[in-house]
Each structure stands twice: as structure tokens, then as C-alpha cells.
Amino acid sequence: MGAGTLIQAPPVAPPVKARALRPGRERAFWPFLLPALVAYTALFVAPSLFGFWVSLNAWAGPGSEMTWRGLDNYLALLSDDAFRTSFVNTFVLALAGGGLVFGFTFLSMMVLRHIKGRAFIRSVMFLPMIISMIAVGAAIGFLLNPEGVVNTALGWLGLDPQPWLGPDLVFRCIVGGLVWSSTGFYVALMMSAVDSIPAHIYEDAQIVGATRWEQFRHITLPLTWDVFAVSAVLWVVNSLKIFEIVLAFTTGGTPGSPPLQARTVAVQQYSLVAGNAIPQLGNAAAMGVVVLLVTAVLIALTRRITRRERVELS
């Protein structure tokens, strides 16, 4: 559930002197907060720091000896082909997928304001968000099988069947599946911002003779830019941890290990940990830290690119 990621914490109510030390809820402050705070610190924050520590060592897991490697794990990642491929894949997925998702989202924003059945369209497009990607992969994998429906249909059209889930094409299918499953979420997000734009602005624009497209470009997009900036950050964060859909699309053809051409960093890290070889936890932990750093950099970059003067409604 990535929603809400990295949006700065909600503003805290300014201290009101007159209400200060309302006995009940102030007395309850620590008792109410501590269970969550302790659990979160001990099992989320501390392990993250421990992960960073492991990434500086060579380690095969509890019971075996940990030896200091410094930054060697990170350097080893640089020369590791499997990691490089999965890293590039993750980037491609984030960029190509992001372009498609927001392309579709923008087009939808142009028409979803007044089309018939708009609420229905919005909710059905959102549907894939609540469905397990493993199930989607298994169902669509059936359609894309070498002797599957899609290839049969291509045959009727006189076209050659394609090995959709083979190593060369599967990555494109994954991008497609990802775009299909996530666009509805971003449409819902952006449309909730569009909904709050007063109708009279559009009426004025119509009087001036602006086309639908121009209304989108000059009204809808500028007035929803804040939400778009947040959505873009969300997309970046979510796309860096893509895992299930890769496994789902590649399991049908090659059980166990997804082909290298389709691996994302999350998948690569998982194969390293769950594979049969002696686990190299230091390496795998370094991957995690790299993802954390890349996430931070991309967020900063996305914020920078999407930063604009805020448009205020008078």
C-alpha cells in the first residue's frame, strides 16, 4: 500500500494555549503512543539501520561469521551483470511505465469530467488495484501462451504467433500489465483534484471558445499540478519495488527463476536471498540500500521537475 508515500507529514494543529494540557488526552499521550512507537522503532526503523550495517559486511546469515567489507559490496554490485540488468530494467519500467500511465491519465482527465457513466468508468478502471497481480499474471499468461488465444487470433489475421512470455518479449508484456493495473489509481487520484475545480471556470472557457484539449491544458492541468507532483513521486516509489507482476508473468514459462531480461531489482534481490546458493546477505542488503538511495534521489528529482508556481484560485 504505497499511497501516501513521502508526502510530508500532515500539518500538526498549532498549540492552542487555552486548550493546553487537557488532562485526559494529554495523560494518555505516552500510553496510547508507545505500543505503536516501540513496535515501529524496534521492527522497522532499527532493522533498516541493521540492513545498512549488513550491506558493509560479507555474511551468510545467522550462525555464520560476519566479515567487514566496507564498500566492497557496493563496488561488486557495479560489476555484477545481473544487478546492472535488473537495475536498468527497473528504471525502464519506471520511465516507460510512468510515461504511459500519466499519458492515459491526462487523456482521461480531458473527458472524465462530463462523459456519460464517468463514475462507473472510474471505479472499473480502479478494479485491478485490488486484485492480486499473481492472479492477473496467471490469467493473462494463459491468453499469451504460445498456443494461447492471442496467438490463435494473430493466426486468423494471417500474422505470425509471437513468444509473448519468452525472454525477449516478456518485459514489454510486464510493462503493459503494470500500466493496465496502475492507471486506474492515478486516474482516481487526479480526478479527485479535478472534481474540486469550480464548474464556472470551464463555462467561461467555453464562452471564449476553448476546445476540450485547450481546457485541459490551460485549466485542468495547471489547477491539478500539485496533485500531479505528488502522484509522480508516488509512481517513482511504487515502481521501484515492482515484484509480484514479474514473478506472475514469468513463472508460467520458467519455474523458479525469472529470466534475467525481465528481472527488476526487487526480483533480483529475492532470487539472491531465496535461491539455492549460499546466501550472500551483504550483497543483497547493499541492493536494498541502493534502492533506498535511488528512491531518495528520484523523489528529489521528481519534486524539482514538477515544482511550479502554485496556481491559486481567486
Partner 1 sequence: MRRLIGDVLLPRATAIALWAWVAFNLALVLWVGMQSLKDSGEVWLNPFSLPTDPHWDNYASAWRAAEFSAAALNSTVLTLLGSLLIVALSAPAAYVLARSNRRVAGPLTGYFAMGLSIPLQTLVIPIVVIKLSLYTFMEDWVTGWWDNRITLLVFQVILSLPFAVFVLTGYMRSLPHEIEEAAEIDGAGPLRAFVRIVLPVARPGVMTVLVLNIIGLWNETLLVLLISPLPEERTLPAALLNLYSSMQYSSDWGGLFAGIVILIYPMIVLYLWLGRRIVEGMTAGIGK
d(CA 203, CA 198): 9
Query: What would you measure as the largest C-alpha separation in the chain, in angstroms?
Result: 79
Interface with partner 1 in residues 156-195 (CB under 8 A):
185, 188-190, 192-193
Q: Note whether 78 binds partner 1 by CB under 8 A.
A: no
Q: Note whether 71 binds partner 1 by CB under 8 A.
A: no
Interface with partner 1 in residues 252-291 (CB under 8 A):
252, 255-256, 265-266, 269-270, 273-274, 279, 281, 284-285, 287-289, 291
Q: Which stretch binds partner 1 (CB under 8 A): 77-85, 160-168, 170-178, 243-251?
A: 243-251
Report which of 176, 195, 154, 167 is spatially closest to residue 253, judged by C-alpha positions: 167
d(CA 144, CA 156): 15
Interface with partner 1 in residues 216-235 (CB under 8 A):
227, 230-231, 234
Q: Which residues of 150-181 are buried (b: 16+ CB within 10 A; e: fewer)?
A: bbeeeeeeeeeeeebbeeeebbebbbbbbbbb
Q: Least distance to partner 1 from the beta carbon of 219, Å?
A: 13
Sole binder of partner 1 in the list 78, 88, 131, 301 (CB under 8 A): 131
Task: Confirm if 183 and 124 have CB atoms less than 8 A apart.
Answer: no
Q: Least distance to partner 1 from the beta carbon of 213, Å?
A: 3
Q: Note whether 66 binds partner 1 by CB under 8 A.
A: no
Judged on CB neighbours under 10 Å (0-12, 13-18, 19+), 296 is exposed
Q: Least distance to partner 1 from the beta carbon of 65, Å?
A: 14
Q: Note whether 29 binds partner 1 by CB under 8 A.
A: yes
Q: Note whether 150 binds partner 1 by CB under 8 A.
A: no
Q: Note whether 70 binds partner 1 by CB under 8 A.
A: no
Sign of CA dihedral 309, 106, 181, 195: positive
Tell me the HSE value of 214 on the side-chain side, using a 13 A CA sphere: 9
Q: What are phi and psi of 167, to 5 degrees?
A: -55, -30
Q: Least distance to partner 1 from the beta carbon of 235, Å?
A: 12
Q: Which stretch binds partner 1 (CB under 8 A): 77-85, 132-140, 158-166, 302-310?
A: 132-140
Q: Least distance to partner 1 from the beta carbon of 251, Å?
A: 5
Q: How many residues bind partner 1 (CB under 8 A)?
A: 120
Q: What angle do CA 178, 182, 183 make, to 5 degrees?
A: 115
Q: Note whether 199 binds partner 1 by CB under 8 A.
A: no
Interface with partner 1 in residues 293-312 (CB under 8 A):
295-296, 299
Q: Note whether 33 binds partner 1 by CB under 8 A.
A: yes
Q: Least distance to partner 1 from the beta carbon of 312, Å?
A: 15
Q: Note whether 149 binds partner 1 by CB under 8 A.
A: yes
**Beta strand spans in the chain (E):** 57-58, 67-68
Neighbours of 290 (CB within 10 A): 19
